[in-house]
Amino acid sequence: MGAIESPIMLTGTQHVGRVADALQAWAFARDPEMGVTTWGLDTVVGECSDMYLSDVRGRHVRDEHVFAALDNATGGPVEEGAVGGGTGMVCFGFKGGIGTSSRVVPSDAGGFTVGVLVMSNFGRREHLTIAGVPVGRELQHWSLPVLSEKDEYDSEKTGSSIIIVLATDAPLDARQLHRLSVRAGGGLARMGGLQSTSSGDFVIAFSTTNRTPHHPTAPTFEQHVATETLMAHQQWPANVVINWLFEAATEATEEAILNSLCMGQTTTGRDDRVIHALPLEEMMAIMKKYGR
Amino acid sequence: MGAIESPIMLTGTQHVGRVADALQAWAFARDPEMGVTTWGLDTVVGECSDMYLSDVRGRHVRDEHVFAALDNATGGPVEEGAVGGGTGMVCFGFKGGIGTSSRVVPSDAGGFTVGVLVMSNFGRREHLTIAGVPVGRELQHWSLPVLSEKDEYDSEKTGSSIIIVLATDAPLDARQLHRLSVRAGGGLARMGGLQSTSSGDFVIAFSTTNRTPHHPTAPTFEQHVATETLMAHQQWPANVVINWLFEAATEATEEAILNSLCMGQTTTGRDDRVIHALPLEEMMAIMKKYGR
Amino acid sequence: MGAIESPIMLTGTQHVGRVADALQAWAFARDPEMGVTTWGLDTVVGECSDMYLSDVRGRHVRDEHVFAALDNATGGPVEEGAVGGGTGMVCFGFKGGIGTSSRVVPSDAGGFTVGVLVMSNFGRREHLTIAGVPVGRELQHWSLPVLSEKDEYDSEKTGSSIIIVLATDAPLDARQLHRLSVRAGGGLARMGGLQSTSSGDFVIAFSTTNRTPHHPTAPTFEQHVATETLMAHQQWPANVVINWLFEAATEATEEAILNSLCMGQTTTGRDDRVIHALPLEEMMAIMKKYGR
Amino acid sequence: MGAIESPIMLTGTQHVGRVADALQAWAFARDPEMGVTTWGLDTVVGECSDMYLSDVRGRHVRDEHVFAALDNATGGPVEEGAVGGGTGMVCFGFKGGIGTSSRVVPSDAGGFTVGVLVMSNFGRREHLTIAGVPVGRELQHWSLPVLSEKDEYDSEKTGSSIIIVLATDAPLDARQLHRLSVRAGGGLARMGGLQSTSSGDFVIAFSTTNRTPHHPTAPTFEQHVATETLMAHQQWPANVVINWLFEAATEATEEAILNSLCMGQTTTGRDDRVIHALPLEEMMAIMKKYGR
C-alpha cells in the first residue's frame, strides 16, 4: 500500500524474528487499541549476517535492547561504526557497521535533502575503492578474516550484504523512490561492491513529505510530486529535479559506506577473532599517492 | 518516467514494427520540432497473433491504415468485434476481437470511471465461462479451428493472448495502476482465461487525471491520489476508494471480453478458414438452463 | 538465490516475529554448526490478520507451539479448517482457514502434481462464488462480522488477505514458478476474491524436484526443466506441459479455498464474536438451483 | 517464455519501428512457413536517442540497411565506435557509440566467458570516470554539445541512455541472468553513469548454452545451471561460480563503455554540430597524473 508503518530496525540475521517480535510488543504498549479496534503492525527489520564476529547462537539480543533502541531514538547526528546492528559487521575485511551521509540539492531544484544510513557487511579486500582509488589493493598486507577448516561460509571473505536506508524530504512516489534505490546501488558499485551471492542487498527508501493519511476524509488527497522532466526556461543542472536526487542518492550511499569504514574500531569477537579498523593514516597516504 | 506519450495502437504480431513506424511518421508530421528541438516519440503498440485467419505474410497493414486510424479517432462509443487490430482474432475458438466495458464507482467513493478495452485472442473452448456458467462445455459441438498436419502452432486451440487497455479518471499513481492491472487479470480468469504459454497477456493502464507536465515550472507539482485506506466515519463499501476501483477493473475486464465475443461475426479468413461467431441465442439458452 | 531453506510457517499478523524467532531457535537446536561454521536460517513465515476473532494482544503463540508444529509435521493428508495459523481466519464472512487441493497432469505431459495449501482470510460475502455460482448473494441472510463504533478496520467485511503455498514435483525454475503463481491468482479470482487493499496476497511457490546443492562439487549442476513450447508430433491438450501446470495451479487454488470454507466450523472468538461455518446443505441446495 | 527468438538490433529512437519491421520481413524471407504453419517473430530492437547529431526526421534508416546488417553479421571481433546504431551517439559530451569487452572466469570456476556490447549515449562530462580517475573534471575545457534557445531536450548534456547486451556461455537461467544484469549496472556506475531521467537504461542478457527447444520431444529437458553457493572443499575466489560471473559482468560493462569512447571519432552531424572524440593522449596524461 505504499506506506511504512513501523520504525525501521537493523540487526543480525538470526535476530530478525526476535527484533520484530519486540517491536510488535513495543507498538502494542504504545497503542492500546492496536489489535483490538485498529490493525497493525507491519514490522520492518533489516539484517546482515554478523556470524564471523558474533556469538549468534547465544541469542544475546533481547526485548529490552529493542525497547531501549526504540525509546532512546532521537533526531540529530547518528552514531556511526560498531553500534547497534552494526556491531558485528565486516566490510572489505575491515570493521564495517553503521554509516550515514546526506546531500542537499540546489534551491532552484527544490532544496531537498537525501539522507542515507547503511549497515555495511560486504566486500572483498582487493575491491575496496575510495573515491576511485584502489585502496584495497594497497592494503592487502592487513589480515583478512581467518576461516577454519570446518568453516563452510565465505561471507567475510567474499563480501556479503548491505542494508541501505534512504530517506528524503523530496515528495516522491513509489516509482520514483524505486528509481532512487537503483541509483543508491551505483554508490555501492563505486565503493567496490559486487553484490556477491551470499546475501541480499536491500534499499529501503521513503519520503518524509508524502504521508498516507491513516483515515482520509475524502476520496482523494493531494500530494506533491518531484519533476522528472525539464523545467521550462532553465538549463541543466538546475532543471531536472530528479537527476539531482539521483546524484544525491549515489553520492550519499558511497559516502555512507566510507563513513561506516572510517568510524570502525578494531574489534575482537567470538573465538578471539579480530577485525581491524580501516587504517586511516595509511588510507590517507594512499589517497595522496593517487593524486587526491 | 511514468507517462504514456503516444496513442496506444493494437495490431497483429507481425505488424508491430510497421505500425510503430507509421505512428512515428504521423507524430513527426504533427510536430515539426519533434526530433529537432524536442524529443519523441516512445510509441506504444500492442499485439496478438492473428495468423490463423490472416495472411500475415502479405503485410497488408500499411502506413495509410495507421494514419487513417489516428486521424479518425474520436471520443464516444467504440466499435467492437472484428474491427482494427481485432479483425483476425480468435477467442475460445469463436470470433474474438475488440470489446469494451466500464464501471462508475459511487459518488461517495469519488464517482470515478474505469474503462477497459480488450483485444481478445485467447482461450480453449471448454474453458469459456460467462458469469460463472460453463458455456464453453455446452458449445463443444461448434467447430474448432482446424490445423493442418504441418501446423506447428497451437494458439487458436490452446488460447493465446489478450491486450487489456485500462483507463480511469481516478487519480492513480504508477503503483496503484499496477494494482488495478493485477485485478484486471481477475476478470480474465473469470472468463476462463488461463494465460496460456504461447504469448504474453498485457495490461496497459493509465490515469487521465494525473498528467505529467512536459515542461514543469516549479520543482514539484501537485497531484491528487486516490485513498487506499478506510475513510473516517464511514463504512464499507463506500469507504475504501481503491477497493471500488479494483472491483471495477475486474468486472469491466470480464465484461469487455464478453462483449468482444458477443460482437463477433462469423469470419472467413485465409485458406477458407472459418471462425464462427459466438451463437448468441444458444448462449442465452444455456444461461437460462443454469439459472440466469 | 532461488532456494527456500526453511520450513514454511503460517500464523497471524502479530505473531510473525515470534514464530520466526522460534523457528530460528529450532534450527539452531538441530544443527550445532549453524551460526558457527555454516550460515542460516532465512526463515519463511506467512501471515494474515486474525484480529477479528483472536485476542492478538494476548500473544498466545509461544515457542512451544512452534516447536510442536515443526516436530509433529508429517506427510500425508493435511488437517483443514480452523487449525494452526488458520484458527482465527474469516473468509467471505464465514469461517476460513487452512484448505488444500491438488491436481495431477496427464502422464504424457509428465504426470506431475501441483499441490496448493491456502490460509484463507479474505472476501466480501456477496462476492463468494463456487464453481461460478453466486453462492454469496444467496447467503446474505447469514450474519456478517459485526464491528463496533470504534472499530477502525474493515478487513473482515471487505476481505483481507490470503497466503497460497504452491508445491510441485514438476522441475520448474524461478521464472516458471512465478508464472504458476500468477495463475494461482486466477483461482482466487474465480472464488470471488478481489485482492482488496487491506493486506497482501502472496504465493509461495517451489519445486520439490529441482534442489539447489548446499555444497556443489562442480561449477555447474544438472536440472530438468518443464517444456513451455509445443512437443513435437503431438496435439494439445497433451503437448504443452506448462499449460497443464497452469490449469492445475488455477484449479487447485480455487478448490483449496473452497475446502478451507467447507472444513470451517462455527467459531466463537474474543468478545463473544461468532463466525459461522459455511452452511453446507444450504450451499448444496444453491448449487442445485443453478444447475450443478 | 525465457527465450530470445530474434537477432538483437540497436538503432536510434525514431527508427525502432522501421528496424523491427525490416527484421520481420527478413525473417519471413528466410522461413516460408513463418506466419503460415509456425509463428514468429518477437523482434528485439534497442534504441538510444541520436537526435543531437542525426537528422532523425529524414528517416534515413531503410529496409536495405537492416537487411545488410543482418546478412553481413559474422562472428569474430566487433567493429566499435561510430558504427551502426552507434553512429550518432554522444557519451559524456564526447563521441560515444558501440563498445565491447569480455572476461573469462578461471577454469576451476567453469572457464565461462561473459561478453558485453554497449551502445553508449549517456553521461555528464564532469562525471566521466576512468578506472576511478576523474577524467571528466580534467577535460572540462573540451566543448560540450551546444543547444539552441529553442532546444527543449537535455539528453546530450545530462546524459541519456545506454543499451547493454550481455552474452555468456555460462548456463544461467532467467533469474541468474537478471542478477548479472544488475551487476552490469555497477560497471555503468563506475564510469560515472547516473542513469539520468531522460531515457531508459536496459540490459539484454542471454546464455548461449541453455537453449529452449523449439519442439521438445519429452515433457522435460535437461539444462546445466551455474552454482551460486560455495563449492565443497574449495576456497574463494575459485569456489562460487556466480561471483566470478558478477565480477565479469561489472568489469566487462565498464570496459565496453570505455572502449566505445576510445574508439569514437570526432563527428560532424546535422546543423554543423560537432562532437569530439575523447582526446586519448590527454586522457592518458591525466591517468598518469593520478598514479595509473
CB contact under 8 A, B220 and A226: yes
The Cα–Cα gap between B86 and B190 comes to 21
> What is the Cβ-side half-sphere exposure of residue B261, based on CA atoms within 13 angstroms?
24
pLDDT score of C156: 46
Determine the angle formed by the axes of helices D241-262 and D174-190, rounding to 10 degrees.
40
Beta strands D98-104 and D113-121, pairing class = antiparallel
- Say what the pTM is: 0.96
C157-198 pLDDT, tens digit per residue, is 545 799 999 999 999 999 999 999 999 999 999 999 988 887
Amino acid at B111: G
Instruction: Compare all CA atoms of chain A with the CA of C52 and give the residue at the minimum distance.
Output: A36
Amino acid at D241: V
**pLDDT band at residue B19, thresholds of 50, 70 and 90?**
very high
E runs forming strands in B88-160 = 90-91, 94-95, 98-104, 113-121
Active-site position among C101, C201, C207, C260: C201
Average pLDDT across chain A, whole number:
92
Q: Which of D13, D25, D37 sits opposite B152 (nearest CB)?
A: D37
CB contact under 8 A, C212 and D220: no
pLDDT score of D154: 58
How many beta-carbon contacts under 8 Å exist across A and B?
Answer: 103
| Contact criterion met (CB below 8 Å) for C199 and B200 | no
**B49 catalytic residue (yes or no):** no
- What three-state secondary structure class fits A27? helix
Beta strands B267-268 and A113-121, pairing class = unpaired
Q: Which of D108, D220, D226 sits opposite C225 (nearest CB)?
A: D220
B128-154 pLDDT, tens digit per residue, is 999 999 999 999 999 988 877 777 665
**Which residues in C56-72 are b (16+ Cβ under 10 Å) and which e?**
bbeeebeeebbeebeee
CB contact under 8 A, B24 and D35: no
**B6 catalytic residue (yes or no):** no
pLDDT score of D191: 97
Chain D: partners with 3+ C-beta pairs within 8 Å: A, B, C
The Cα–Cα gap between A237 and D157 comes to 9
Chain A: partners with 3+ C-beta pairs within 8 Å: B, C, D
Taking CB atoms and an 8 Å cutoff, what residues of chain C touch D171? 220
Grid coordinates representing C29?
Answer: 537446536
- Chain B: nearest CA to C229, how far in angstroms? 7
Cβ partners under 8 Å of residue B116, min gap 6: B100, B101, B102, B164, B165, B166, B167, B184, B187, B249, B252, B253, B255, B256
Most C CBs within 10 Å, among A15, A16, A55, to test the C interface: A16
Closest CA to A277 of A118, A151, A157, A139: A139
| Contact criterion met (CB below 8 Å) for C110 and C96 | no
Residues of D with a Cβ under 8 Å from any C Cβ are 1-2, 108-110, 112, 170-171, 173-176, 212-232, 241
> How many Å is the maximal CA-CA distance in chain B?
66
CB contact under 8 A, C154 and B239: yes
Q: Which of B189, B198, B240 sits opposite C186 (nearest CB)?
A: B189
B89-128 pLDDT, tens digit per residue, is 999 999 999 999 999 999 988 999 999 999 999 999 999 9
Q: Across residues A188-201, what is the average pLDDT?
A: 87
B3-18 pLDDT, tens digit per residue, is 999 999 999 999 999 9
> What is the Cβ-side half-sphere exposure of residue C6, based on CA atoms within 13 angstroms?
24
Taking CB atoms and an 8 Å cutoff, what residues of chain A touch C21? 17-18, 20-21
Taking CB atoms and an 8 Å cutoff, what residues of chain D touch A193? 186
Instruction: Compare all CA atoms of chain C with the CA of B238 and give the residue at the minimum distance.
Output: C158
Q: Which of A108, A110, A218 sits opposite B220 (nearest CB)?
A: A110
Most B CBs within 10 Å, among D15, D37, D48, D60, to test the B interface: D37
**C199 catalytic residue (yes or no):** yes
Task: Quote ipTM for the complex.
Answer: 0.95
Active-site position among C161, C196, C207, C260: C161
Q: Which of C133, C188, C239 sits opposite B132 (nearest CB)?
A: C133
- Chain B: nearest CA to D141, how far in angstroms? 25
pLDDT score of D230: 74
**pLDDT band at residue C233, thresholds of 50, 70 and 90?**
low
Q: What is the pLDDT along chain D (292 residues), one digit of tens a residue?
A: 889 999 999 999 999 999 999 999 999 999 999 999 888 889 999 999 999 999 999 999 999 999 999 999 999 999 999 999 999 999 999 999 999 999 999 998 899 999 999 999 999 999 999 999 999 999 999 998 887 777 766 544 545 799 999 999 999 999 999 999 999 999 999 999 988 887 678 999 999 998 888 878 888 999 999 988 877 655 545 568 899 999 999 999 999 999 999 999 999 999 999 999 999 999 999 999 999 9
pLDDT score of D156: 46
pLDDT score of A156: 46
B186-240 pLDDT, tens digit per residue, is 999 999 998 888 767 899 999 999 888 887 888 899 999 998 887 765 555 556 8
Active-site position among A50, A120, A160, A201: A201
Beta strands D94-95 and D98-104, pairing class = unpaired
The Cα–Cα gap between C288 and C283 comes to 9
Helix or strand run (H / E) with residue C8: strand C8-12
Taking CB atoms and an 8 Å cutoff, what residues of chain C touch B246? 194-197
Taking CB atoms and an 8 Å cutoff, what residues of chain B touch A239? none
